[in-house]
Copies of this chain bind each other. A is one copy, B any other.
């Protein structure tokens, strides 16, 4: 499976988790169980983000550095990492 397919597969699973969350809320599931599932969906999003980030550095950032215009690519990278740590 290519990385793109792998990422899509994980995003579909996350979509399923979010739909599952709606069902839980509709059926008045105990709040703490809903919160645990929200935390799980967030962790899954973070994990797929890390996969995309690794791919991004390995392709775009590496290329930018090799072609001697790495600086804006690195600024952009640090900026997106900051968003991820919020």
Contact = CB atoms under 8 A, between A and B. Distances in A.
Contacts of A77: 32, 57
Interface string A42-70: 11011011101111111110100110001
Contacts of A18: 11, 14-15, 18
Given A15-B18, A22-B12, A66-B65, A74 B57 contact: yes
Interface string A73-86: 01111101111111
A64 to B, nearest CB: 10
A55 B35 CA distance: 11
Given A14-B18, A21-B11, A35-B84, A78 B50 contact: yes
User: Chain A contact residues: over half helix, strand or loop, or mixed?
Assistant: helix
Nearest to A62: B65
A35 B85 contact: no
